[in-house]
Amino acid sequence: MINVDEEALICDFAETYHIYDYKSLPLGTVGTFACGLRADSRIGMKMSNSKITTDQTLLALIADNTRAIAWLNSKDGAKGINRPKSLLESMIGDMETQDSIMETFNCGQDFDDQWIRLTGGEK
């Protein structure tokens, strides 16, 4: 953690434990305190490469789903146009590329048809 972002760790220790000089403590104690930090601590977020907390993610999903339900019940939703943009996606950035989007099929024939469309040939 120290190698990743020592300043974030110092801030977390100060905020959580009121420790301002972690170097004066035994190494085992520092390790114990570091492991006891919340997942949404500065260093925890940095270590997990997260931009937003779990709570923020859940709230954004709730908002997105509420907006999607309202859209589905609108004239635009019936026509499949003007779908609202995802709040979660705007918060975390574009996490998926077109290549990583998963598609499901109802039957093997649907898969075969899509394969032919994508590859321009036979399986």
Q: Which amino acid is at 114?
A: Q
The answer to whether residues 81 and 98 belong to one domain is yes
The answer to whether residues 58 and 89 belong to one domain is yes
Residue 123: pLDDT above 60?
no
CA angle (19 as vertex; 15, 25 as ends), nearest 5: 145
What range defines the domain where residue 35 resides?
Answer: 2-47
Q: How confident is the model at residue 98 (pLDDT cuts 50, 70, 90)?
A: very low
The answer to whether residues 40 and 61 belong to one domain is no
Average pLDDT value for residue range 67-91: 91
Q: What is the pLDDT of residue 122?
A: 61
Residue with tokens 């100060």: 14
Residue 17: pLDDT above 50?
yes
